[in-house]
Chain A
């Protein structure tokens, strides 16, 4: 942290900053964890987390006084681009992406002092408790409830699709604190230690066979009023306030481009470029990906100019995730019989993963507001179509 405070990365020129990141990521990030077709478990990422933390490069988006790099939007984009280029895996990063920015904006000085340093040090690993078994797209209908008893709250209910909950030491949850008002106005934002009595979880195996998400249960879990972030019943506003330019990363063409390289390798192995039907599909998709790059670039430029991102960014999510799925489907189709293999295929020593992109690209159209919800948003706020 002292290293972070001593350096203002924004003073460095873009190109040398980029090269520093590139060179260091290349040298330091474990080779066996690059471009993995899944998220990293905490056990795999702890060392890297610590290394980043010691270097002062863990929290690019946090202000420097809280141990972050305090990067300008332009520098932040360079940081993302280099992370993607190096194939850095996704760590259990909710503390960095969500809790930190939330506490910095809405937390009390006590909450900031209690939690932020422990995120940076890796002592606390966070997960997000938003969705519930009966509240998915309709998140505001959530029913996990916090009732004031004496000087603390008692929480009952359940959260689901909680990514990496089994690796987390802490969870932040949206809970109902008032049932008498409009749904959105009766929700509060709480922080909880996963070791609090009454918290339990059950990992859920996903369609790819990985245990990445969980259901979390709250059975008379006590939470002190000091665990409340912001004011009572302000939780919805806080959750929505987090929709800043971090959302840009979901539209980056980098991940689909990664899968495109698999398609390219497959096509060479199976001599598919001699098949005009394949070339047509391949070309169309390649151009879709480049066009996604153009759309993404438009938002990147906005961020660079420090302009706010509006609800129209939903279109980037829709096109990026749809295109990724189409690509994954062409990969399977082009593999013919190989397209039904459960694991990556070994072509005389060249390993081509046909099936992972299929699985990885599925949740993108569902999480963070399904693409149907994104279309509702665009219809309402951009096209201003009536209700």
Chain B
């Protein structure tokens, strides 16, 4: 496609997502807070029909084989209405890992079902808070005659409430190091697998997955060795960038709400938006929003060019750090700009504050990403 065609296509995609998002309100978000799945399967099915679950999936598996920049458009627009469904967990994180699998039979089933909205895979890779390392894995895979046995625990698994199964990273006990890294598909009702949930600030939940003597057959192996590490680490960077797009979407809506309030709320006989102290505060928020969107745009084009690992990580970290800080600042300042009403449960500002907190913490917060950036881009050069 030419640049012009790409732009036209992206404009159409944006129009279509914006139109769809108009039908989703925050009342729905509040209602879904008290449900077990935090997912409206009817909405999910519509998104599947519009093709959005398969944006990053190859055409052979029913996907659209588009780029991260396209996925960002979908995620950003839906984040403005705080979509609670696990779009990024499924259509970015899980889809990216699955797309790299060399287990053709399993890949075909899982990806086509993911794209059609019938399978929600969750990715269980993380064991430690504040770490983005994919190959220091405590969860063990022990070979036995019939296959492997998995033992261990994964934390902070997102999109797990309605998940049909888990992509689990494990370290083979027979093969130490990178060569022994494995990615397994573990369906949710597998004997020995148990899930417990922690409620997050935005009322969505993350899971701890415990595996005790879970038996997996060879056919459940998605990928192993260096390829598994590469696929996971790439998926994590891609997810971090799409989460940043979500952060951009929600910060823009939060700032809009604050500006609307500043134009209508009257004190001392004037709209409070006429006061210079508040105007300058709002401008500083706007600058952070624009900065975040400029960095996001650059990051997307860098990642879409599939650069070296180091370049990819540096770009993803810049994007996630900036978008996270901007979103936290804007949503928190939105409380202040709304005054006491901003501190109430009824005020929608709180929903944005809490979602920002959750997206900030997932896949590395600003501090984690700055630390990773320093390690690979600064300290490595010094040493």
Contact = CB atoms under 8 A, between A and B. Distances in A.
Interface of A: 267-268, 273, 279-280, 282-284, 286-287, 290-291, 294-295, 297-298, 312, 315, 318-319, 372, 375-376, 378-379, 382-387
B273 A273 contact: no
Contacts of A298: 294, 297
Nearest to B326: A291
A280 B370 CA distance: 8
Nearest to B370: A283
Given A383-B279, A386-B273, A283 B286 contact: no
A126 B263 CA distance: 45
Contact of A383 (B282, B294, B297, B371): B282
Contact of B378 (A279, A372, A378): A279
A298 B295 CA distance: 9
Contacts of B370: 280, 283-284, 287
Contacts of B274: 385-387
Interface in B278-296: 279-280, 282-284, 286-287, 290-291, 294-295
Contacts of A268: 382
Q: Which 8 A-B pairs have the closest CB atoms?
A: A379-B279, A385-B273, A283-B374, A294-B294, A375-B283, A294-B298, A295-B294, A386-B274
A319 to B, nearest CB: 6
Contacts of A294: 291, 294-295, 297-298
Interface in B257-282: 259, 262-263, 270-271, 273-274, 276, 279-280, 282
14 contacts: A267-B382, A268-B382, A279-B378, A283-B373, A291-B294, A291-B318, A297-B298, A298-B297, A315-B283, A372-B280, A375-B283, A383-B279, A385-B273, A385-B274
A187 B99 CA distance: 67
A378 B286 contact: yes
A162 B139 CA distance: 70
Contact of A315 (B279, B286, B318): B286
B321 A287 contact: yes
Contacts of B282: 379, 383, 385
Given A294-B297, A295-B294, A386-B271, A287 B373 contact: yes
Contact of A385 (B279, B294, B295, B382): B279
B378 A291 contact: no
Interface residues of B, number: 32
A376 B294 CA distance: 22
Contacts of B283: 315, 318, 375, 378-379, 383
Looking at chain B's contact residues, the main secondary structure is: helix
Nearest to B255: A383
Contacts of B294: 291, 294-295, 297-298
B262 A385 contact: yes
A59 B327 CA distance: 43
B289 to A, nearest CB: 10
A376 B276 contact: yes
B322 interface: yes
A279 B322 CA distance: 17
A375 B279 contact: yes
Nearest to A284: B370
B287 A315 contact: yes
B322 A287 contact: yes
Nearest to B278: A385
A273 B298 contact: no
Nearest to B296: A294
Contact of B279 (A279, A318, A376): A376
A269 B378 CA distance: 15
A268 B379 CA distance: 11
A385 B295 CA distance: 26
A339 B271 CA distance: 46
Given A291-B291, A298-B297, A379-B280, A283 B378 contact: yes
Nearest to B382: A273
A36 B378 CA distance: 27
A287 B325 CA distance: 12
A295 B322 CA distance: 12
Nearest to A315: B287
Given A287-B370, A294-B294, A318-B287, 5 more contacts: A279-B378, A283-B374, A376-B279, A382-B286, A385-B274
A249 to B, nearest CB: 18
Given A295-B291, A385-B274, A290 B318 contact: yes
